[in-house]
Amino acid sequence: MGALKKLRVLDFTQMMTGPMATMMLGDFGADVIKVEAPEGDPFRASGEVTLGGDGVFFLSMNRNGVVLDLKTEHGRDMVKALAAEADVLVENFRPGLAEKLGLGYETLQALNPRLIYCSITGFGRDGQDRDRPALDQVVQAESGLMQITGTAQSGPLKTGFPFSDLVTALLATTGILNAVIARHESGVGQRVDLSMLDASIFSIAPRDVYYAATGKTPPRTGNEHWDIVPNNTYATRDGREVMVISINDKFWAILARALGLAEMSTDPLFATKAARLKNRHVLDERLAAAFRTRTLAEWESSLREAGAIYGAVRTWDEVFHDPRVAGKLVHTIDHPAAGPLAVLKNPLQFSATPTAIRRPPPQLGEHTESVLANPSAAWVPR
């Protein structure tokens, strides 16, 4: 049984950031009720692939739900009844909308002093940008993340996955759990505020200290590193790629020997970090030529045996057919409309309070009638 088995979470979030946070709370054992408008979470229609009428993106990040129309007095009354019994409420409404609906923190906290009220916004609840729409790519741009992603030739690039959405979800979950611990001591809840912009800027560490010390923006170096050489991907004889990193002279010597280039580890052009940085282009050319002489499988064997720091650039077929992934991280759940659905499990491993996926992604309004009939009974585990 999960550690949060007694925690009741009311989820008013949509798209990706909020649902991922509440999904993790649910995997930790919390009883989560996702509240959607009659038209449903917009993420249900997002993406090019659907199963059972819902987008696969939605199906990957949601577990349970009801439909309540917050534009009606009855819908708002139902929310208040649910909030009175809840431990946590998570919302990512446009700033000010919850207050306009009469469902803001002050109102619900007066009904339930133990309530932990987590607000996730794009740019914060105050300031000139508070009402701007915020999606992951926009926040990556505004936060400076895109400024350090890519190469000098490519220009700024977004990451290959929704980084700002996901890092905000992780920090929101951390904040909620911190508030739960604080409530254990004080007996009262509190408001937890987090913006996607702040979360994304926070994630720039440790490059923040570099900027503060030098006044310089770290350059866009692609797979290279501005302060570590070698730190790059190299093509093998069979057209694959391998990532290698030598964080100090010790690991540089290990790599050089594994590549059959032991003499480079003592060559004054490459023996020290300063020398490798100065001569990075010559070093890269020699390593690239060496890697082209053997296949990825051959290099993996040599690099592993030598103790080098390396990683093959895996295809998604390789990742998801790896027994370590297929047997440990992928879980198949039965969905009444989508059928068997393969999703990723929470990767945290607990010896006493294991995580679990207890419910499939919700169909729109799946539990609405039972909640409307008896809000208090909605919290009894189904």
The residues assigned a catalytic role are 165
Give the C-alpha separation, 62 to 64, whole Å: 6
Query: Which residue, chain included where needed, has tokens 């054992």?
Result: 29
Query: Which residue, chain included where needed, has tokens 């540089």?
Result: 252
Give the C-alpha separation, 80 to 77, whole Å: 5
* Three-state SS at 161: coil
Contacts of 69 (CB under 8 A, 6+ apart): 37, 38, 75
Strand bridging mode 191-195 / 155-156: unpaired
* Three-state SS at 159: coil
DSSP states of 288-340? HHHHTTS-HHHHHHHHHHHT-EEEE---HHHHHHSHHHHHHTEEEEEETTTEE
Q: Are 111 and 184 in contact (CB under 8 A)?
A: no
Q: Are 165 and 122 in contact (CB under 8 A)?
A: no
Give the C-alpha separation, 5 to 89, whole Å: 16
Q: Are 243 and 302 in contact (CB under 8 A)?
A: no
Strand bridging mode 150-151 / 155-156: antiparallel
Give the C-alpha separation, 379 to 382, whole Å: 8
Give the C-alpha separation, 155 to 337, whole Å: 43
Q: Counting Cβ atoms within 10 Å, is residue 277 exposed (0-12), middle (13-18) or buried (19+)?
A: middle
Question: What are the distances in angstroms from CA 36 to CA 30, 42, 156, 245?
Answer: 19, 10, 36, 47
Question: What are the distances in angstroms from CA 96 to CA 71, 121, 243?
Answer: 15, 11, 47
